[in-house]
Structure 1
Amino acid sequence: MTYTETIKYYTNLIHQTIHQSFLSKHLHRPELDIHKIVAIDTLVKDKPNQDELVRTTMLVQIALNTHDQINVHFNDGNVMEQQLTVLAGDYYSGIYYHLLANIDNISFIRLLADGINEMTQAKMTFYYSKYRDFNHFMSDYQVIECVLIDKVAHYVNKLENNRYLSKWIILKRLEFELVSLQKRGNTFFHRLAKENIDTIHDNMQLAKALKQYISKVSYELDTLAANKEQAVIPKDLDLFQLRSENNWNMVLEEGLSQ
């Protein structure tokens, strides 16, 4: 399958799995981290239970992302929405445990449970810390962003690809955040950056920091890609139409048609 087909296939599979009519009526459909779908699929593509590994890992990610959306500042206007968000996150977690129990994959359950524990502990520190600049912020953020991918790589014994994949995931996350910022979106990442980084107070400063860090990670990936076995996914795979959203002088070497 092409990358576009892979994303579409798993997006449909996951949405069918998590559909719940009451939640769908009152909450927005959860946004999927499509860059992680691509990364996980790349790691497990030679496994007989490939679909289940991608789907269950993404269900964990959806549940954790959903709980992140809970606003600590409750008011009369959003109490019901916040309560439903909590329930939705628990619901997605429940589906994940149900699926893995049915396929009797105890070793994978243990690995993902370890990942959830590590991510939760890292978040407790990260979300309430102050950072002097974007680089220090990203140093801690990338640990959270890459935990589940690390666990999947460990499970399928492909740790040799992990360094490249981890940086690739960070690159795609930041590209998504930049495109969202340009579209005047207000993501959880944007809010954290502006609240917790001393040198970033507005969208212009955040956009500049994102572009600089994207360039930094892109250069690091080019270095790793010199080893052809490392570059398991094209660095310039344009998942979020970044190149069409701005006028950077960047050439898309390989695209979604692969």
Structure 2
Amino acid sequence: MSATNIIQQYISQVKTDIRHPYLDKYITHPVIEPQKVKALNIILTDTISEPTKTTYIKATLFVQLALHTHDFIDLNNAENETMETTKKRQLRVLAGDYYSGLYYQLLSKNNEIEFIRILANAIKDTTDTKMTVYYKKHSSILQFIDEFANVDSKLILAVLKKVNTALDATFIQNWLTYHLLRREQKLLDKGETSVFIELLQKNFAKKFTNKVLSSKLIDAMTHYKKKLEKSDHQLSNAYDDFSLDTEEMMIESLDPVKEG
């Protein structure tokens, strides 16, 4: 099976697992980010058994979905809500708790107590750090990107540390950041939103138009691409699967789980 098919298979499995008849009527589930699925698959391949790898990947994605759901709740002001928006906010809280429950249930069923502890610590670290990053006034766009990406990659890097592979954490984080920027720049150009875009606009909309912000994200992509290319001479064959060309994944990354 090709790497792309493996990624799509994991995404499909998680989409099926998170479906809930009542929640699906009212909210859209967060996007399952294929670049993170790809990173997890590479990190865990040949380090643990296939069934355990599947368990770890799915559990980590459940946690990521829970964190993303709670991010939107934290950023949206509850004042002046209508009954409909209040209900949706409350359902998002329930959805986030539901995703967290799925990760715990999956790992408990497989007696993966150590991995529960690893993800729980990563959740705490992510939550503690994001409270500083999300509500900070950033002096530059690149500083904001660096700090946001540091929060966004914590779960993946926690898994990397757990399996203790030879892969370099800085390289993995830069690779994830590059693809984060690709996705967010496309969303911005389409007039769509995300936690990243809301924070970017909150910090810089008074100074820059969306068109300028989009161009600055492209500049930042170039910055991270150069970092990755500069690392090439240091990399072993273990990095061959970390291609910069993931256009086949970008379509999936912009396709949220449908409601209903």
Superposed displacement of residue 198, structure 1: 7.4
2:70 maps to 67
CA contact (8 A) 1:115 1:148 kept: yes
Whole-angstrom distance in 1 between the partners of 2:161 and 2:90: 35
Task: Tell me the equivalent position of 2:245.
Answer: 236
Q: 1:200·1:206 contact (CA, 8 Å) conserved in 2?
A: no
Distance 2:93 2:134 in 1: 18
The offset of 1:136, in angstroms, is 1.3
Distance (Å, rounded) in 1 between the aligned partners of 2:123 and 2:108: 17
Letter in 2 for 1:68: D
> What is the rounded CA distance, in whole Å, between the counterparts of 2:152 and 2:207 in structure 1?
21
Q: What is the alpha-carbon distance in structure 1 between the residues aligned to residue 166 and residue 140 of structure 2?
A: 30
Residue 88 of structure 1 pairs with residue 88 of structure 2 = no
Bigger mean CA offset, 72-81 vs 225-234: 225-234
Kept after mapping to 2: 8 A contact 1:181/1:207: yes
Amino acid at match of 1:11: I
Residue in structure 1 matched with residue 27 of structure 2 by the alignment = 27
In 2, Cα distance between equivalents of 1:164 and 1:231: 9
Q: 1:211 aligns with which of 180, 205, 218?
A: 218
Bigger fraction of residues in helix: 2
Query: 2:14·2:58 contact (CA, 8 Å) conserved in 1?
Result: yes
Structure-1 residue corresponding to 2:45? 45
> Where do 5+ consecutive residues of structure 2 fail to align?
252-260
For 1:64, give the aligned amino acid. L
d(CA) in 2 for partners of 1:209 and 1:200?
12
Q: Which of the residues 130, 155, 174 maps onto 1:148?
A: 155
Post-superposition Cα deviations, 1:177-224, rounded to whole Å, max 9, x if no partner, equal 011112221222111001024775431121021011100000000011
Contact (CA 8 Å) 2:150, 2:173: kept in 1 or not?
A: no
Q: Residue 6 and residue 130 in structure 1: after superposition, are their counterparts in 2 closer, same or farther (change >3 A)?
A: same
2:170 counterpart residue number: 163
Amino acid at match of 1:168: W
Could you list the structure 1 runs, at least 4 aligned residues long, displaced by more than 3 angstroms after superposition. Answer: 197-201
Q: Is the 8 A contact 1:130 1:197 kept in 2?
A: no
Match of 1:173 in 2: 180
1:202 corresponds to 2:209: yes
Q: Which residue of 2 aligns with 1:129?
A: 136
User: 2-side partners of 1:159 and 1:197: how far apart?
Assistant: 38
Pairing partner for 2:229 from 214, 219, 222: 222
TM-score of the pair, normalised by structure 1: 0.88
Q: Which letter maps to 2:215?
A: K
How far the C-alpha of 1:3 sits from its partner, in A, is: 3.0
The answer to whether the 8 Å contact 1:179/1:240 transfers is no
Q: Which has the higher contact order (CA 8 A, sep 6+)?
A: 2
Gap runs ≥5 in structure 1:
242-258
> How far 1:228 sits from its partner (Å)?
3.4
Q: What RMSD, in angstroms, separates the aligned Cα atoms of the two structures?
A: 1.7
Match of 2:256 in 1: none
Q: Distance in 2 between matches of 1:127 and 1:144?
A: 10
Q: Which letter does structure 1 place at the counterpart of 2:250?
A: F
Indicate the SS of the match to 1:82.
helix
Cα deviations by residue, 1:120-157 (Å, 9 ceiling, x for unpaired): 01111111110111011122112101101111111111
